[in-house]
A and B are shown apart, each in its own frame.
Chain A
Amino acid sequence: MPEITNFVTTLEERQPYIALKQKVKGETFLACDNTSIAGAMSQRACVYSGARVALNPVTDAVHLVHGPIGCASYTWDIRGSKSSGKETFRTSFSTDMKGIDVVFGGEKKLAKAIDELVELYKPPVVFVYSTCIVGIIGDDLEAVCKAASESNGIPVIPVKSEGFKGTKSDGYKAACEALKVLIGTKEGNIRSPYRINLIGEFNVAGDVWLVKPLFEEMGIQVVTSLTGDSTAQSISECHTAQLNLVQCTGSMTTLAKWMKEEYGIPFRKVSYFGIEDLSTTIRETAAFFGSEEMKQKAEEIIARETARIMQEVRRIRSRLEGKRAAIYMGGAAKALTLIKGFRELGMEVVIIGTQTGKKDDYLQISYEVKDGTVIVDDANPLELAELLVKQKADLMVAGVKERFLAYKTGVAFCDFNHDRVVEFEGFEGFLNFAREMDSSINSPVWKTAKSNIRDSVDNRAIKAEKVPGTHIENLHEDAAIIRGMEA
C-alpha cells in the first residue's frame, strides 16, 4: 500500500496526492481523480484537450474547433499519429470566434463553416469540438450539427468538450460519445472468421504498423484501430469485431464497455509494449479464439520475434542495469506497462505518476512497484524536480513539458508522448525503446552537465602533478572530455 508522507515540500492540499510505497501498514489510498488545484501548476490540460487527443487521429475526418483561434492553434498537428491514407486530420480547422460571435452567438457562423468545409474537403465525417466559451454563451451545438448532418448527408458529430467542464478524462468520454454515433452505421467487410479492434491505440510514430501484422499473421482481421490510423469507414464497421483489445484504458474503456453492452463484444485490457506484455496479449488473443492452429502460430511468432531482438536487447540491457527511472504519464495504462518494460531492461522505477489515474489504477501501480517508490497524481514541475533529485533518477519518461525540467536537473529524458518519432510498440518497437534508453542515459553529456571549468582543469592539473610521467594518459583524458563536449 502506498503511504502518504510529507516526502516532498508542496502545498498542504497537495500532500494526499503524493505517497511512498512502503510495507503494508493499513490501507491508505492516494487522492486522485479531482480537478486540479488553482495555482498548483498542474501538468494537465483541459476537457477539450482530452477529446482532441483521443479523437484527432481519425485520419479522414474534418476536426472543426468551435471557439477562439488559440484552441485550434495550439493543437494543430500535435498528435504525432501517422496515417496510411488521408491526412485531413493534420489540418487545423477553426471557426475563429470573435467578440461579435460571443455577443450574438456563434451558431450561424458554425453552420456556415460546416457547409463550407464539407463543400471544400468532402470529408466522410465532421467532428465539431466545443470550447470554453461555447459552453458559456450556450450555442446549441447539437441542433446545429443535426441540421448540418441532414443537409449535407454526412455525419456531423458534436464533441462536448467545453474546456472547463471537468478534467481531461471527461474529454476522453466526450470523444467516446462522438465515436458511438459512428459505430455500427455501415455493413462490415468480413475477411476472416477472427476479427478484433485495437482500441485505445493512437498510432503515434506508426506503432500500429508494428502490431497489426502480428495479428494478421495469426489469421486475425484487424477491423480498426481506435483512433490511430482509423477512418470514418473503418470505425463505422468496427461492431463486426468479436473481440476488443483495449490498450489506453484510461481513455477508451468506456467505449469498450458500451460495445460490450450494445454489440456483445467482450474486451481485454492489453499492452503492445515490452516483450512480456506483448507476448501475453498475443497469447490471450489466440486463447480467446480457441483455435489450436492460431495458438501454435502465436507461440511461433513470439519465439521468432523474441529471438530476433533479444541479442541486441541483452547487449543494451548490460549498459542499463540498475539505472533508476521516473515515469510521469497522461494515463495509468502506459505507466503500468512501462514498469514491466523497465524491468525487462534491468532498470528500476523510483517515481511513478499520472495525470488522470483512478483509484484502482494507483492500487494496481502500488502492487507493481517496489518499496521506496514514490507514487504521485497530477504532479507539478516543482514536485517533479524535487522528486527527481531526491529519488536519484537517471531518466524520466514523460511528455514535452517535462523534458526540459528533467534536462535542467541533469536527468536523461525519453518522450513517450506525441513528440516521439520512433515506434515503441511491437517487438521492433521495444528494441527501439531499448536503444533510446541507451542513447538517453549513456550519453557523455550527463557528465558534462555536472562539470564546471575549474574542476575539470584543476583535477587534470593535480593528477599531472602527483603522477609524473603520465602526461600521455592525461592527454587521452583531455581528448575524451573534448569528444564528450562535442557530442
Chain B
Amino acid sequence: MTERNYTTVNPCVMCQPMGSVMAFKGIESSMVLMHGSQGCSTYMRLHLSHHFREPVDIASTSLSERGAVYGGSENLKKGLRNVITRYHPKVIGVTTTCLAETIGDDVRRILQEFREEENNADDVHIISVSTPSYEDSHTTGFIKAVDAIVRHFTEYGMGNDIFNNKLNVVLGENIAPEDTRELKRMLKATIGPRSFIFMPDTSETFDAPMTGKVEKIFPGGTPLSEITYMKNCAASIGLGITSDNRAVDHLETKYNVPAKRVPMPIGLEYSDRIMSVLSEIAGSEIPEAYRKERGRLIDAMVDVHKYLYGTRVAIYGDPEMVLGMLSMSLENGMYPVLVAPSCKTPAFREHAQERIDAMNLDCEVKIFEGLDFDAFNDAVKEAEPEILIGNSNGKYISQQIGIPLIRVGFPIHDRVGAQRILLMGYRGAMNILDRITNTILETKDIELEKKWLQNKSNDLQESCCDLRSAHMQPH
C-alpha cells in the first residue's frame, strides 16, 4: 500500500517477551513469569497454543494501576510465591514487558530482596531477562533469554570445573520440535549420544506425547545439570549466523570454550556444513547412514530439478529460517525473487549475498529486512513470485494473489502439524522439496486442465463434462 512512514500494517514480528518464553520453554522444569499486565501472557499463550497445539502456561504478575504507580515489586514477589506454590518449578524465567520497563522496576533488586525474604527461594533458579516490547523483536528476545540462562547456570557455582569433552549446541532462533529431534539425531550419530548439550530443547515440551496425565510442567527440555557444565565443554556450536549468539560468545570469552557458528542446516549446502563440522569435531568420518541420506537427497533433487528450475519464490519469516530456505531454493535452481527476513540482523545480507553470488542466477533477488506484510505485499506484486514460502500470516497475500503458500516457520495457526514440520538436515530438505514440488505439480495439473479445456470445441467440452459427471456417479 504505497509509502508509509509512521504505521506498521500487518506486522511480521512479535515482541521480545515472546522470544524469551520460547527459550525458557526449552529448559528443564521451567516456568515463565511475565512481569507486566495480565494480557501479555494470555496473548502469548494463545499464540503459542495455536501453533504448537499444546497447553502453554505462562504466569503473569498481573500489574494493575496500583502496581504501575507504586512499582511492581509486590506483584512480582507474590507472582513468584504463587508460581512456586502451584507449579514447583526448578527455574522461573522472569521476563519483562513494556509496562514493567517503563515504570522502571529494578527487577534484579526485587529478586534479590525476594531471595532474602523467602525461605523456599533457594530451591528455585530465578532468572531475569530484560525484554521491553518496544525494542527489537521476538528474535532478540530468544537470544537474550538463552544467554541469560547460560550465564545464570555457569555462574551459579553449581557443579564443577572439570573438562567434560562435550559439545555445546546453542540455537540462535526458535525451531520446531521435529527439527530439534532431527538435529539431536544428527548429533547422536556424529558426536555420540551423551556427548553434546543441546539448548534450548523444546522437542518434548512443545510436542508432548499424550499420557492421559496433565503435567503441571511438561517433562523434557535441556537438563539444568547439563547447562551448568556448558562452561567445561570442549567447544560450542552456535546454530544460526545472522545474529550474534550471545551465549556461545560468552562461553568463549569467559570460559575459553571455542565457538563455531554454522547456519541452520536447511538444504544440502547448509546440512553439509554442519555435518562436516561435526565429523571434524568428532574426528571421524561422516556416518554411513548419513552419506546414504545425503545420496537420497541428491537423488530427490535430480528427480525434481525440472519442476523447480526457474520457479520464482518469495521467502519470508524469521532470519535464520529465511536464509536456509534461500540457500535451499538457490541450490535447486529456483529463483528467489523476493527475500524478506522479519527483522534486521547484522549479518543476514552478507550471508545471503554470498549464496546468491555462488549461483549463476538469471534473475534479480530483492532483499528487504524488517518489512511488514503490507509492504511485503507490494513487493510481492512487483516481484511476481509463483510460490510463497513462510509462516501462515502470508495467507492473505497468497489468497489475494492466488498463488500457493508453503507453510514453514512460526506462527502457523491455520494448519495442523506445525510442530512436526521437518525442515532441517538431509531428510528435512527432502521433505520440503517434495512439498514444494508437489504443490507446483498440483497447480500445473489444474492449469493444464484449463488450457486443454479451452482448446476443445464446445461440443467436446460438453461431452467431456458428461464423461466427468458419469465418472462421479456412484456405481
Contact = CB atoms under 8 A, between A and B. Distances in A.
Interface of A: 10-11, 35-49, 64, 67-76, 78, 90-99, 101-102, 109, 112-113, 116-117, 120-121, 131-133, 135-137, 163-167, 381-382, 385, 400-401, 403-405, 407-410, 449-450
A95 B6 contact: yes
Interface string B344-372: 00000000000000000000000000000
A46 B39 contact: yes
A449 B133 contact: no
Contacts of A164: 36-37, 63-65, 67-68, 99
Nearest to A102: B134
- In order of increasing CB-CB distance, the 4 nearest A-B pairs are A46-B39, A70-B15, A39-B82, A39-B79
B44 to A, nearest CB: 7
Given A36-B38, A42-B60, 20 more contacts: A39-B78, A39-B86, A47-B39, A69-B14, A73-B11, A75-B43, A76-B11, A76-B393, A94-B9, A96-B8, A99-B135, A116-B7, A120-B2, A121-B1, A136-B102, A136-B103, A163-B99, A164-B99, A382-B87, A401-B49
B6 A116 contact: yes
Given A11-B82, A73-B15, A408 B7 contact: no
Contact of B42 (A42, A64, A403, A404): A42
A269 to B, nearest CB: 27
Contacts of A92: 9-11
A410 to B, nearest CB: 6
B83 A68 contact: no
Contacts of A39: 33, 59-62, 78-83, 86
Contacts of B194: none
Contacts of A41: 57-60, 83, 86
A46 B42 contact: yes
Contacts of B9: 91-94
A265 B46 CA distance: 38
B47 interface: yes
A450 B211 CA distance: 8
A96 B42 contact: no
A97 B134 contact: yes
Say which size band chain B's interface belongs to: 35 or more
A408 B87 CA distance: 17
A401 B1 CA distance: 34
B4 interface: yes
Given A39-B83, A49-B43, A381-B55, A102 B6 contact: no
Nearest to B92: A39
A410 B212 contact: yes
B54 interface: yes
> A10, A40, A94: which has the most chain B beta carbons within 10 Å?
A40
A86 to B, nearest CB: 15
A105 to B, nearest CB: 12
Contacts of A40: 59, 62, 82, 86
Contact of B68 (A10, A102, A136): A136
Interface of B: 1-2, 4-11, 13-15, 17-18, 33, 36-40, 42-47, 49-50, 53-65, 67-68, 75-76, 78-83, 85-87, 97-99, 102-103, 132-135, 137, 208, 210, 212, 214, 216, 374, 393, 396
Given A36-B38, A73-B15, A112-B6, A382 B68 contact: no
A44 B11 contact: no
A44 to B, nearest CB: 6
A46 B11 contact: no
Given A98-B134, A404-B53, A42 B38 contact: yes
A136 B134 contact: no
Contacts of B37: 46-47, 132, 163-164
Contacts of B6: 95, 109, 112-113, 116
5 contacts: A38-B59, A40-B59, A40-B86, A69-B11, A73-B15
A236 to B, nearest CB: 25
A449 B7 contact: no
Contacts of A400: 46, 49-50
B78 A98 contact: no
Nearest to A42: B38
Contact of B62 (A11, A38, A116): A38
Contacts of A95: 6-8
Nearest to A65: B8
B98 A46 contact: no
B75 A38 contact: yes
A43 B134 CA distance: 24
> A46, A98, A101, A382: which has the most chain B beta carbons within 10 Å?
A46
A416 to B, nearest CB: 15
A165 B8 contact: no
Nearest to B53: A404
A482 to B, nearest CB: 18
Contacts of B98: 67-68, 70, 97, 102, 131-133
Contacts of A69: 8, 11, 13-15, 133, 137
B60 A70 contact: no
Nearest to A98: B134
Given A36-B60, A116-B5, A45 B11 contact: no
B43 A381 contact: no
A132 B61 contact: no
